[in-house]
Structure 1
Amino acid sequence: MAIENARLAEAQRRETFRRRLLDQVMAAQEEERKRIARELHDELAQSLTVLIRDLETLTGAAPAGPAGLQEQIRETRALALRILGQTRRLIFDLRPTALDDLGLLPAIRRYAQHRLEPAGIQLHMDVAGEVRRLPPQVETAVFRIAQEAITNVVRHANASQVHVRLCFAPDSVALTVADNGAGFDPDAVLAGPSSTRCMGLLGMRERAELLGGHLDIESQAGAGTTVHLCIPLTT
């Protein structure tokens, strides 16, 4: 009996250590995301903006230049605009400023619109409870789980509609992301060979469990997918 208790205590100690380490790793990742996003904005995005303005000025200043010059300038400007758009999307994916400045609801809404509308997927979003700011680690976890769920819809679901629901209760926050797409077998994905999708699902569950929450994924072929998250709030 004493040996068994010692084994259980050791297993619990190791699990506690693992969770603390994972929490530190995720926090470090978020800080690195912030740093990279800030540098991309301050350096690359700003430089591209200046380049685009200079090309616009050059177009107006040299209307009668050598043959083909105007076309080259226009093509270069179009390329710079595309790169600027890609850079802004990358910055948004790394760390949307709305999450830090405005909170969870605006950040999720903007990200959902940002990813779903270009894919032609209709977004339905509703909120329950009193919308308020939550502890930073909770907002980050809920946003990242929403981000992964929405990204999976775009990449895998072949859906035409997505319903996102955010519920603020006095002692918890809950998120539901449901689509009408192709569906899949979550257990088979998690048990199968390592893949981006598998790692994404595992990451979602780890984030939820680190904060004492739980994540449920309901899906079957032809019946869409529903991701439900609930995280308790300590007072």
Structure 2
Amino acid sequence: VQLMKTQRTQRAALQKANADLQGSLVIQEQLTTSRERNRLARELHDTLAHTLSMLAVQLEATKAVWDDDPAEARTLLDQSLAATRAGLTETRRALQALRASPLEDLGLPLALQTLAESVAARNGLSLDLHLPETLPPLTPLAEQTLYRTAQEALANITQHAGATQATLHLTHTDNTLTLTISDNGRGFDPNTVAGGAHFGLRGLQERAEMSGGQFTVQSNPGQGTEVKLIIQL
């Protein structure tokens, strides 16, 4: 009799443990879905929303000068077209990145290496790449921020800089992780940059702020560009 009671107790405990496990799996699946939706929302915000916001401002300005200054109106329209094309390119790239996440498949260091080497090979860039063998634990948001920053910065080098050399360094201390990307291209004045490049830089700034990081750009005409992202650990 005692053995039967023990078996019933064990079966009940096993059934409860199984039910708890199933509940945990459901919750985990819901959290994963929620995180993916949030990631998609961030990607669309960084691309589509910024482009549409910029276009609205530029078209309002075009409307204001349409009758009095046709030349200025044409200039604004040209800028709007450039922003539209840049936004379309960024949206396509964001959607492609969402379809295949190299971070999930490769991990951050190898994903950054693959990205940088691929960009350098396609565009004939000399690449100086430095990545640590190991990294401290990072949140998914921090990893996404680091990868997307590298992706955007390298795209800017190939599209705008006219560079022959690019550098990507990822270093860390006990308290910070620092991503530095630089080039020997034509450089620019960060205070006056406009169009698609401004759209991209603003998106990187906002992405860094969302992850609690610090994003800076140092550049001058004729002196190349350095992009730096610092993530607190």
Which bracket does the TM-score occupy, shorter chain normalised? 0.5 to 0.7
Counterpart in 2 of 1:140?
144
Q: Shift of the alpha carbon at 1:30?
A: 6.1
Secondary structure of 1:150's aligned partner:
helix
Kept in 2, the 8 Å contact 1:104–1:133? The answer is no
Partner letter of residue 147 of structure 2?
F
Q: Which residue of 2 aligns with 1:203?
A: 203
| C-alpha spacing 1:153/1:111, structure 2 compared with 1 (3 Å) | same
The alpha carbon displacement at 1:134 in A equals 1.8
Aligned partners of 2:43 and 2:94 also within 8 Å:
no
| Equivalent position of 2:230 in the other structure | 230
Post-superposition CA distance 1:78-101 (Å, at most 9, x none): xxxxxxxxxxx9986445543112
Partner in structure 2 of residue 29 of structure 1: 41
SS of the residue corresponding to residue 188 of structure 1 reads coil
Q: 1:107 to 1:95 in 2, by over 3 A?
A: farther
Look up the SS of the partner of 1:182 in the other structure.
coil
* CA distance 1:183–1:228, shift in 2 (3 Å): same
User: How far apart in 2 are the matches of 1:185 and 1:25?
Assistant: 36
Distance 2:102 2:142 in 1: 15
Query: For the structure 1 residues 176 and 207, does the alpha-carbon distance in structure 2 shift closer, same or farther, using more than 3 Å as the test?
Result: same
Letter in 2 for 1:229: L
Identity among equivalent positions (%) equals 36
Equivalent residues of 1:130, 1:169 under 8 A apart:
no
- Correspondences of 1:1-235 after superposition (within 5 Å): 27-29=39-41, 93-94=97-98, 96-128=100-132, 130-189=134-193, 192=194, 195-233=195-233
Instruction: Provide TM-score, normalisation by structure 2.
Output: 0.58
Look up the equivalent residue of 2:211 and give its one-letter code.
L
Q: Deviations over 1:110-135 (max 9, x none)?
A: 11122221111111101347435521
The CA deviation at 1:31 is 8.3
Write the distance in 2 (CA, Å) between the matches of 1:133 and 1:152.
Answer: 29
Work out whether residues 167 and 173 of structure 1, in 8 Å CA contact, stay in contact via their aligned partners in 2.
yes
5+ residue gaps, structure 2, are 1-34, 45-92
Q: Measured at CA, do residues 27 and 90 of structure 1 come closer, stay the same or move farther in structure 2, by a change above 3 Å? A: closer
The 2-side partners of 1:229 and 1:30 are apart by 18
Distance in 2 separating the partners of 1:116 and 1:26: 31
Equivalent AA in structure 1 for residue 176 of structure 2: S
User: Structure 1: which amino acid aligns with 2:39?
Assistant: A
Contact kept in structure 2, 1:157 and 1:181, CA below 8 Å: yes
Distance 1:101 1:134, change over 3 A: farther
Over residues 54-112 of structure 1, what are the superposed CA-to-partner deviations in whole Å (9 max), with x where a residue is unaligned? xxxxxxxxxxxxxxxxxxxxxxxxxxxxxxxxxxx998644554311221111111111
Please, what is the CA RMSD of the aligned residues? 2.7
Residues 95/139 of structure 1: CA separation in 2 closer, same or farther (3 Å cut): farther
Give the 3-state SS of the residue equivalent to 2:102 in structure 1.
Answer: helix
1:199-220: CA deviation from partner (whole Å, max 9, x where unpaired): 1000100111112211110001
